[in-house]
Structure 1
Amino acid sequence: MDWQGQKLAEQLMQILLLIAVVVAFVVGYTTASFRTMMLIYAGGVVLTSLITVPNWPLFNRHPLKWLDPSEAEKHPKPQAVVVSSKKKFSKKLVSVLKIIVSLISLNQMTTFCY
Structure 2
Amino acid sequence: MLKILGFEGQKLVERIAHYAVIELAVHILFLYGFLFQSIQVTFGVFGLGVAAILVIIIPPWSMFNHNPVTWLPPKETKEKQQ
Q: TM-score range by the shorter chain?
A: 0.7 to 0.9
Of the two, which has the highest radius of gyration? 1
Give the structure 2 partner of residue 60 of structure 1. 65
* Structure 2 unmatched runs, 5+: 1-5, 77-82
* Aligned CA-pair RMSD: 1.8
Q: Which residue of 2 aligns with 1:18?
A: 22
Q: Structure with the greater relative contact order (CA < 8 A, sep ≥ 6): 1 or 2?
A: 2
TM-score (norm 2): 0.74
Distance in 1, matches of 2:43 and 2:31, equals 12
The alignment's TM-score, normalised by the length of structure 1, stands at 0.55
Query: Paired residue for 2:80?
Result: none
Question: d(CA) in 2 for partners of 1:68 and 1:26?
Answer: 52
| Larger relative helix fraction | 1
User: 1:61 deviation in Å?
Assistant: 0.3
Cα distance between partner residues in 2 of 1:26 and 1:63: 40
- Secondary structure of the residue that 1:55 maps to in structure 2? coil
CA distance in 1, matches of 2:50, 2:73: 41
